[in-house]
Structure 1
């Protein structure tokens, strides 16, 4: 067993919150992960993790070891990347988390093209609108949309994501077409339940802010479903353009009050700052940035 593998094993245990989770992330048996930890503790001559039947925590020596291990592993990754510049073939497993609607609509060509360039790389993709803790789950990187909360994660902006108010021609024929924010209060609004915002903010051409409190007739935690309900004539949706752009293009949805602007969001890739960044992660992040610079079709 190499010392680097022992250190990576220890870092996984520390970040995952236990031997069982670390074993799942590494694809190893718990007994193997436990033995590697014991070997590291024996070699260093110090207990790194204090364990009870229900809890565990890093000892003082364990915390120092964790901090130094990150530096060692980071330096090793940098060394490998610099030495292997001529061999750009990536190996191992790349674990990615992404929002469900965006992933289904836009990630298939990304993964397909990247896999052609690196056929020996395995990819695990978690599509879900739930919040994924990258450190605890062992996910290498995540795509996130919206304003990023303060955290220890590194972030890189990939593309703008604008919102627009949309409704079907049948709904507008039946309920009328709103032309100002006050008229929206008389309409059936479809609300994305995953948002923490309790109001819709619109900026007029003269930069006046208008607040429309959500009194929605339908709330759901999936943007594709809300967009489909808007297409069916159920009401007005505040939809990201990456979801509704084709329905707008095909005339199934009309954009309402285009002279008013909604808060702009963005697509980001985030990844842990406290962990060494593997070459496969760095290369994929660069690939994402290049791809979405040329393929943010929904904004055009």
Structure 2
């Protein structure tokens, strides 16, 4: 008796709720499925199932064995899938959901390089700052920025995302350079409004960092708009350096109160299942790892280096 086949027959009986449905799922007769399970019980020296004419009931040993056996079978299937991926290579359409500003500023070179490395993969990129339902909306992967809460999704950390407080030299000349958080009460804050209930976003970083409520007469759900307004002297912003980094490097914006810089967030690749992960998804995640540099190239304003990946 093949031990793996017997294990798979038993687990399928459990998940399908009976021998007949398990046989249909496995493409064999109910008698053979029953034989596999009986032989497995004999080998283990313990009863796994109590059978009646209509139902099956797991014993305590059967419950424990089913859980562990499922994990073993998942690992075997995943290993087989990875080996097949090596033979077949990444292919098919990769559907990605990603944040608007990060994608427009930084994602195109990565996608082009990825497709040059994996020409059999087509990309469908949908930009949206809301938290999409990956499964319901049919995405293979979502890129998310923030401090992710625990969930049933798998999240792979890609790169840190810094937030800095800054303003234009003209604004600081007119209104003064704040040296303490208390002095921010006398300044204008350009307010990022999208998804304020999510602590990952800059409006809450202002509250977290300063202890003050945002004030001012400009609100937008797009960070690029606010950065451009700050360059024009409209006020102070807290924004990710992947948006404001080039303006800081060019002297159009100046970092203020750097000693109170918020804790870094992260860019994550989020996907639904680790089991039987498609080659196109695995290859894309592997390709992103390290692509933006460590630290990422958009933070090079601190080092006087170039602003594009090597």
* TM-score, normalised via structure 1 length: 0.69
Pairwise CA RMSD: 2.8
Aligned to 2:18: none
> After superposition, where does 1:117-132 map in structure 2 within 5 Å?
117-132=117-132
In structure 2, distance between residues paired with 1:149 and 1:273: 17
**What is the rounded CA distance, in whole Å, between the counterparts of 2:181 and 2:162 in structure 1?**
18
Question: Is residue 161–residue 264 contact of structure 2 (8 Å, CA) maintained in 1?
Answer: yes
**1:296 corresponding residue in structure 2:** 296
Q: Distance in 2 between matches of 1:97 and 1:283?
A: 16
Q: CA deviation at 1:261?
A: 2.0
Q: Which has the larger radius of gyration?
A: 2
In structure 2, C-alpha distance between the alignment counterparts of 1:76 and 1:283, rounded to whole Å: 18
**1:84 to partner: Cα distance:** 4.5
Residue matched to 1:166: 166
Aligned residue number for residue 5 of structure 1: none
SS at match of 1:212: coil
Structure 1 pair 269–220 and aligned structure 2 pair: CA distance change class (3 A): same
Match of 1:180 in 2: 180
Check 1:233–1:239 CA distance in 2 against 1; reply closer, same or farther (3 A cut).
same
How far off is 1:167 after superposition?
Answer: 0.8
How many residue pairs get matched?
231
Partner residue in 2 for 1:151: 151
2:234 paired with 1:234: yes
Deviations 1:196-252, CA, capped at 9 Å, x for gaps: 3555233xxxxxxx4122223222111111111111111111011110010001111
CA shift for structure 1 position 291: 1.1
Distance in 1 of aligned mates of 2:283 and 2:104: 22
2:295 & 2:181 partners in 1: Cα distance?
A: 32
State the partner residue of 1:116.
Answer: 116
Deviation at 1:161, TM superposition (A): 0.8
Q: Which residue of 2 aligns with 1:82?
A: 83
In the superposition, the TM-score normalised over structure 2's length comes to 0.67
- Give the unaligned 5+ runs of structure 2: 1-20, 26-69, 301-310
DSSP-derived class of the 2:291 partner: helix
Find the aligned partners of 1:113 and 1:227 in 2 and give their Cα distance: 28
- Give distance in 2, aligned partners of 1:79 and 1:97: 28
Larger relative strand fraction: 1
State the Cα deviation string for residues 124-161 of structure 1 (Å, max 9, x = none).
10111122110101111111111112211111111111
Q: Give secondary structure in 2 for the equivalent of 1:227.
A: helix
Partner of 1:92: 92
TM superposition outliers: structure 1 runs of 4+ over 3 Å: 71-78
TM-superposition CA deviations, 1:84-121 (whole Å, max 9, x none): 42x46321111111100001111111101100011111
8 A Cα contact 1:143 1:267, kept in partner = yes
Report the Cα offset of residue 78 of structure 1. Answer: 4.0
Contact 2:91 2:279 in 1 (8 A): no
The whole-number CA distance in structure 2 between the counterparts of 1:175 and 1:240 is 23
Closer, same or farther: CA 72–225 of 1 in aligned 2, 3 Å: farther
State the secondary structure of the residue aligned to 2:290. Answer: helix
